[in-house]
Structure 1
Amino acid sequence: MKALTKLPADAGICLKPEHFDDIPSKVDGHLWFEVHAENYLMQGGPRLEKLQDIAQRFPLSIHGVGASLGGPKPVNSEHLKRLASLVNSVPSAAFSEHIAWSGTDSNYMANLMPTPITSESLVRTASNIEQLQDAIQRPILIENPANYLTFKTDMSESEFMMSLVSKTGCGILLDVNNLFISANNTGIDPVKYIRDLDRTVIGEIHVAGHSVDPIEKDLLIDSHDSEVASGVWALLNDALSHIGSCPVLIERDANLPSFEVLLAERNIARNLILQNNKVAGYE
């Protein structure tokens, strides 16, 4: 199998079709993009052709949201075939998926449901990760969830993630926004969580905006509909001080601003990467 990621240790942007024609010809550093796999599982067409062209000019990460790796059943075989077709048709530097479940049998939900952090679930989730890795013939990165409730567990979530890495050879996509939300909603220690992870298996970091639940005012929602919050930037800086140089992605899925606004946020992340590099003596 290939290396965990070939993304540059720079900041990237979650790319939407609305911005396909807004990408400047020159930017600072090594800009890269990430797209949601499920938006490109068609056979041909102008959207896929445009993505293929962009992937020839910029490093690309493919991020899945529908494999249901933490679900009660094996990954849907037809979904695996379509993911493999996408990976084979679009040059990509990394592939990632959520540790969550989103359906069972023929029933699918438009949400990423929580995966039980249990020994039984660990075995099943590891098997599903191996299914996906075998289908696309590369190791994947698995993303930590945003948690809204506290459940009974057999181990900590960070232990669960590291056990999956050990069993399958996958890597970790550390979503700092998800971790910030989980810390607020369930009281976990985000700094300890980060330091419980082996920094050598973290292949990518996500940051995004979140919102306050309109009813439960103490609850944060992983909405991806606003700018990155100051607390998330601070936690990203702490994560980079532990992990070292790492690709960082700006996620935005709703209330989409102009590409220039996203590029400005990307440059904040880029500066944090560079600052931590200097502190560590890389520059």
Structure 2
Amino acid sequence: MNPLIGIGLRSPHYDDIRQQRPALGWLEVHSENYFERHSLGFEVLAELAGHYPISLHGVGMSLGSADPLDLAHLRQLTALVDTIRPVRVSEHLSWGSIGGRYFNDLLPVPYTQAALAQMSDKIDRVQQTLGRQLLIENPSSYLQLPGEMSEWAFLAELAQRSGCGILLDLNNLHVSAFNHGFDCADYLSAIDLGRVGEIHLAGYTDQALPEGHLYIDTHSAPVAEPVWELYRQICGQRAIPTLIEWDLEIPPLPVLLGEAQVASEILSAAQASHCLAGREAQHV
């Protein structure tokens, strides 16, 4: 397995991964699931952190909310980071709480200058507290709020202002592009791949509705071919740590490892091609 390829650590696979120690480059977990120190999850994570690099992927900081930064949440994340020493820490370009009310969804941000300034300030404070860069993931979305710029322009400017990195979720990109009718190529052309610290690959659901089809980011299926194609394009430009996500209808571990192997082969082939091209250039 290419050392840049990882999978999401989910509870149905705890025992298999502890016992088998598959040849993976790294593991990723949802940060909030491991805030409780006296839990099986934290015990497993602490053990596996001795064998695999760990990436912490948050879903609850609500950085896009108009509310102030949740300092209690930040303290818990800081404690987890200090204990696990992850290779990466990430969050979402979204919000999920307002006025003390919390939602189960990652909700879309209005792409305005005011939202950009507020989110940049929050990210800056998080990064100063953690003493490290935060990666921000592009969302999957099903509606768009009135704004002043495109999502890709907002994300690019957010990274520029705050110094954050980008977690580029190619499944989210494909889902949102279909739902809103934009071109993935326009999005990717605006993103500096040098700022991308991690890639996510996952599966989606095609929901047939009376009004037409809607793609839903369910993380419950194999990676779709259009998403693999986007990944091939990225790998042709730069090698980036890549995660296979699978959160619903979680299959046996060998299925997940099979998806990781496909990603590994795509990335390794691109790296080999780059090496060959470099050697040929030296002899010109």
**TM-score, with structure 2 as normaliser:** 0.91
1:158 is matched with 152
Which has the higher Rg, Structure 1 or Structure 2?
A: 2
* Residue 247 of structure 1, CA deviation: 0.7
Q: Distance in 2 between matches of 1:102 and 1:173?
A: 19
2:233 aligned residue (223, 238, 241): 238
Residue 270 of structure 2 corresponds to residue 276 of structure 1: yes
Q: Distance in 2 between matches of 1:217 and 1:43?
A: 46
1:17 aligned residue (1, 6, 11): 11
1:64 aligned residue (58, 64, 81): 58
Q: Distance in 1 between matches of 2:22 and 2:206?
A: 37
Q: Give the residue type in structure 1 aligned to 2:99.
A: D
Residues 9 and 217 (structure 1 numbering): CA distance in 2 closer, same or farther, change over 3 Å?
farther
- CA deviation profile, 1:33-64 (whole Å, cap 9, x unmatched): 10001111113333212201101100110000
Structure 2 gaps of 5+ residues are 279-284
* Residue 213 of structure 1, CA deviation: 2.4
1:3 is matched with none
SS in 1 for 2:166: strand
Q: Distance in 2 between matches of 1:149 and 1:240?
A: 30
Q: Distance in 2 between matches of 1:141 and 1:152?
A: 25
* Residue 153 of structure 1, CA deviation: 2.5
Residue 48 of structure 2 corresponds to residue 88 of structure 1: no
Does the CA-based 8 Å contact 2:108-2:144 persist in structure 1? Answer: no
Q: Distance in 1 between matches of 2:105 and 2:95?
A: 8
Structure 1 gaps of 5+ residues are 1-7
| Percent pairwise identity | 37
Alignment of 1:1-283 (within 5 A): 10-23=4-17, 24-27=20-23, 30-215=24-209, 217-242=212-237, 244-281=238-275
2:281 is matched with none
- CA deviation profile, 1:85-139 (whole Å, cap 9, x unmatched): 1111112100000010000121100000001111110001101111221232211
2:282 is matched with none
Residues 13 and 26 (structure 1 numbering): CA distance in 2 closer, same or farther, change over 3 Å?
closer
Q: Give the residue type in structure 1 aligned to 2:21.
A: S
RMSD: 1.6
Q: Give the residue type in structure 2 aligned to 1:246.
A: I
**TM-score, with structure 1 as normaliser:** 0.92
Spell out structure 1 runs of 4+ moving beyond 4 A. none
